[in-house]
Amino acid sequence: MTREHVVIHTDGACSGNPGPGGWGAILVSGRHRKELKGGEAMTTNNRMELMAAISALEALKRPCVVDLYTDSEYLKKGITDWIQAWKRNGWRTASKEPVKNAELWKRLDAALAPHQVRWRWVKGHAGNAMNERADQLAREGMLAVRAGTKGALGAT
């Protein structure tokens, strides 16, 4: 049985760091496209980058082959380079400090489990249409939180 192929583009945004933030994700499979966005009142850009990837992967209804594009080196390096050492070290960094955003890294790790994910880095704000749209969704999520509308989370 072949797995469905899904292309995901994600981005996070924050006004102040910490401050109000938002995340956006676009999922594309064949002719189907789904956009997601959300936000938090007091957060960081890194948390929003993580939430974009988590929300997109959690939205998948069955195991898929995924190409996930992000402009966040923190997200890409964290999941491809650092997470195995963090897990071995009891969620501590090489300098024995607790891993920042450990609860989100654990959630992302769990969201990855049923899928085959290839992580792709793309330069942000460089004219990539899907990255620009993910950024727009993240900003919309942030603005909705700023305006006090909790309807920021969900599909568009």
Active-site residue identified among 49, 78, 140, 141: 49
User: 4-72+115-150: which CATH topology?
Assistant: Nucleotidyltransferase; domain 5 (3.30.420)
Answer yes or no: 140 catalytic: no
Q: What is the mean pLDDT of residues 118-132?
A: 92
Answer yes or no: 49 catalytic: yes
Answer yes or no: 73 catalytic: no
Answer yes or no: 67 catalytic: no
Answer yes or no: 125 catalytic: yes
Active-site residue identified among 71, 78, 140, 141: 71
Active-site residue identified among 16, 58, 125, 154: 125
Residue pLDDT, tens place only, 18-48: 999 999 999 999 999 999 999 999 999 999 9
Q: How far apart are the first and last CA of the chain?
A: 31
pLDDT reading at 131 higher than 50: yes
Q: List, in order, residues 6 or more apart from 8 with CB less than 8 Å away.
A: 25, 26, 27, 28, 53, 56, 57, 66, 67, 68, 69
Which helix (H) or strand (E) segment holds residue 23: the answer is strand 19-29
pLDDT reading at 156 higher than 70: no
